[in-house]
Structure formats: C-alpha cells, structure tokens
Amino acid sequence: MWNLIIRLFANAVALAVAAWLVGGITLEGATTGRRVLTLLIVAAVFGIVNAVVKPILEWLSCLAIALTLGLFLFVINAAMLLLTSWITGKLDVQFHVDGFWSALFGAVIISVVGILLNIVLPDKAEIK
C-alpha cells in the first residue's frame, strides 16, 4: 500500500517538474490545493496507463526498440503522456499536452526525475 502511495507522489512530482519546464505542458487550477489534486489525479491516470498500455506497446515495438538501442522508449513514453492528457481531458481535469514534441520533452524530463526519485526514495522492501 505504501509503495503505491509513494509511486503516486513520485509520478506527481515528475509531472509537476515536466509541466514547469516544458511550455507545451499545462497544468491549471485556481488554487494551490486544486493544482495538487489535479496532479494527483493525473499521476494516478498516468500510472494506470503505464501499467496497462505501455507493456503492450513495448511488446509490439520491441524490434524498433532494439534497432534504436532503446531510444524508441522515449517515443512510447511520449505516447503515454499524450494518452494521459487525452484521458484527463475527458475527465475534465485541467492537464494538457500540446503535441508530440512537448510530450517527448516531457517524457524525457519525467524519466530523469523518476530515476532521481527512485535513487532517493526507499525501496518497497524497506517500507514496513
């Protein structure tokens, strides 16, 4: 349970950093509390999309991943970010990614922040 909550907050932080650094990723909310709630909803949707859709896309595109030495994974991550933006738009959550390049840059930032957070945050075996 704690691992799920930690991953949710880690995704929220990574998405917040991407929204802050990439001009094409917008996160709106009237108050700080509303923005935090929006980030948590987007992080949950992003986590579900990454858990369900991403493995299927990775399996279907394993040849492209191998041929590009793994760089195609950034394209898949950008697609997951665009899909998250589309889903949250249907949920009337104020998170939007403008296009592919914004999604690609956001995916790179989310990956880097995720790696840094995985170094800092405890592993699930350590949480009791």
Total domains, the chain? 1
pLDDT (0 to 100) of residue 14? 94
In a domain, 8, yes or no: yes
Euclidean distance between CA atoms 109 and 14, whole angstroms: 7
Helices 100-120 and 2-21: crossing angle in degrees, nearest 10, is: 140
In a domain, 126, yes or no: no
Give the tens place of pLDDT for each residue, 64-122. Answer: 999 999 999 999 999 999 999 999 999 888 899 999 999 999 999 999 998 898 888 76
In a domain, 78, yes or no: yes
- Beta-strand pair 95-97/25-27: antiparallel
In a domain, 34, yes or no: yes
Give the tens place of pLDDT for each residue, 18-30. Answer: 999 999 999 887 6
Domain range for 16 is 2-120
Euclidean distance between CA atoms 77 and 120, whole angstroms: 22
In a domain, 128, yes or no: no
Identify the band that residue 126 occupies on the pLDDT scale cut at 50, 70 and 90.
low
In a domain, 15, yes or no: yes
pLDDT (0 to 100) of residue 118? 82
In a domain, 125, yes or no: no
